[in-house]
Amino acid sequence: MGTTLVLGLGGTVDYEVRWDADIVGSLAEQYGIRRTELTTMAPIVDERSLVVTILAFVIDGAGGERFVESSDVVKQFADRFTTEITLGGTGVRAGIALDRLGIPSVQHLVSIDDHVRRLMPASISWVSSATEDTLDPHLIVQYPAGTVVRFDDGEIVSPSSNRLIFANDPPNRSMAIAPELGDALSDAGAFLVSGFNTMQDEALLERRLTELDAALAQLPADALVYYEDAGFYVRRFAERIWAHLLPRIDVYGMNEDELQEYVARPVDLLDPADVAAALLEVHRIIPVPALLVHTQHWAIAVGPTAARHRDALSSAVQMAATRFRLGDGFTAADFEATALLPKNAAGGAVVDTVEKAIPGVVGVSAFKINTATPTTIGLGDCFVGGFLVDHAPVREPQL
């Protein structure tokens, strides 16, 4: 088996806005937004429709990712808030989490600019398909539980914290594959594939998947392939991914939002019977060796090889919890300290029951963390990074 971790396929520059319910409420009033028009599914063509979508997610306490007609909408909205510029994309955030433990990785990037050069940790190297510098920022909105947004039509209150992503990113939509990817994969112990969800041209997607197939020919046969699902802008495109990659995917990950999209119904995440039924249903749709669902309460893997990933699952939950309580700036010591925190009892009850109900299932309860300033951005990405700790070369913790 190879020794490097190769993470892809596309990185982003993120504009993380600091949530301010008063600003959001004033925008709702300014645009005359009514509660009856809140929806998460309408096209986002301007700032008004962006605010409509944000409020619709907040009222349900839900998270998601949506396409915006223009990057100018993202910049216009972000300019109203205190905003931090960070690096995103599942592979990049997973790599940053691994860097906190002294674990290097190789990134596959599709865009580059001075923000990437400035913010990428020194332990991360990259191959890139970009031929010039571009900047198409992703708007990241995270809101806390219990936030109240007041406007002319009353008020809404979020039942839980969550994060939203809005973007118009041509390089990630094109997802060009770097010619050097195959060589990078030749010494890989694990390969993370994510990012195809933003593509909107089916013929181009098919071409990229064919190019990825060619690069995968150089991946060692015993290397782990982890595919992380995401909010597909065109949901049926997921089937094109499966046609090419299912025979090679070892672990297929998704969060609760994606689980519910696939089973086309709400899932009560604290009802073991409902969870078990949803897991079996989505595994029938996506028949991989290990299908992994990570949520705020638990992470559970189902499939014939699920049991071999118990330690990786524990590390993944620990990494996501560390980011939740401390944000990006955590250390290896912080990561180890998280393991000593109490577990979520309700999540543990679900795990125990589902493990007994479905042969071969393994699960891990989330941690019970009380913080006034939770970080909901990038938890799934850090979860993936934590999972890959188990497949990394010998690390030297930065204690």
Q: Kindly state whether residues 166 and 278 are assigned to the same domain.
A: no
Asked, for residue 398, whether it belongs to a domain, the answer is no
Domain holding 151, by residue range, is 15-84+135-170
Q: Kindly state whether residues 155 and 279 are assigned to the same domain.
A: no
Q: Kindly state whether residues 76 and 99 are assigned to the same domain.
A: no
Asked, for residue 222, whether it belongs to a domain, the answer is yes
How many Å apart are CA 99 and CA 332, to the nearest integer? 9
How far lies 34's CA from each of 23, 51, 232, in Å?
16, 11, 28
Q: Are 157 and 148 in contact (CB under 8 A)?
A: yes
* Of the candidates 390, 375, 397, the residue with the CA atom closest to the CA atom of residue 88: 375
Q: What pLDDT is recorded for position 153?
A: 83
Q: Kindly state whether residues 166 and 176 are assigned to the same domain.
A: no
Q: Kindly state whether residues 278 and 356 are assigned to the same domain.
A: yes
Q: Kindly state whether residues 260 and 188 are assigned to the same domain.
A: yes
- Residue whose token pair is 């979020």: 158
Q: What pLDDT is recorded for position 93?
A: 95
Asked, for residue 305, whether it belongs to a domain, the answer is yes
Q: State the pTM of this model.
A: 0.88
Q: What pLDDT is recorded for position 394?
A: 59
Q: Kindly state whether residues 162 and 202 are assigned to the same domain.
A: no
Asked, for residue 337, whether it belongs to a domain, the answer is yes
Q: Kindly state whether residues 339 and 272 are assigned to the same domain.
A: yes
In 10 A of CB 208, how many CB atoms? 21
Comparing 191-205, 236-250, 366-380, the range with the smallest average pLDDT is: 366-380
Asked, for residue 255, whether it belongs to a domain, the answer is yes
Comparing 115-124, 282-291, 344-353, 369-378, the range with the smallest average pLDDT is: 369-378
Q: Kindly state whether residues 68 and 98 are assigned to the same domain.
A: no
Angle of helix 47-60 relative to helix 71-78, nearest 10 degrees?
A: 70
Q: Kindly state whether residues 233 and 352 are assigned to the same domain.
A: yes
Asked, for residue 396, whether it belongs to a domain, the answer is no
Q: Taking residues 43-62, what's their average pLDDT?
A: 96
Rg (CA), the chain: 20
What CATH number is associated with residue 210? Answer: 3.40.1190.20
Token code pair at residue 200: 């909107």
Average pLDDT, the chain: 94
| Position 395 pLDDT exceeds 80 | no
* Of the candidates 346, 372, 379, 10, the residue with the CA atom closest to the CA atom of residue 175: 10
Q: Taking residues 252-274, what's their average pLDDT?
A: 95
Helix (H, G, I), strand (E, B) or coil at 209: helix
| Position 291 pLDDT exceeds 80 | yes
Percent of the chain residues past pLDDT 70, beyond the cut: 98
Which tens digits make up the pLDDT trace of 149-208?
A: 998 888 999 999 898 999 899 999 999 999 999 999 999 999 999 999 889 899 999 999
Q: Kindly state whether residues 140 and 219 are assigned to the same domain.
A: no
Asked, for residue 397, whether it belongs to a domain, the answer is no
How many Å apart are CA 382 and CA 295, to the nearest integer? 13
How many Å apart are CA 321 and CA 329, to the nearest integer? 13
Q: 19-35 b/e with 16+ CB inside 10 Å = b?
A: bebebbbebbeebebee
How many Å apart are CA 4 and CA 349, to the nearest integer? 37
Q: Structurally, how many domains does the chain consist of?
A: 2
- Looking at residue 106, its amino acid is V
What CATH number is associated with residue 46? Answer: 3.30.1110.20
Q: Kindly state whether residues 235 and 277 are assigned to the same domain.
A: yes
Asked, for residue 399, whether it belongs to a domain, the answer is no
Residues near 360 by beta carbon (within 8 Å), at least 6 away in sequence: 302, 303, 304, 306, 307
Residues near 154 by beta carbon (within 8 Å), at least 6 away in sequence: 35
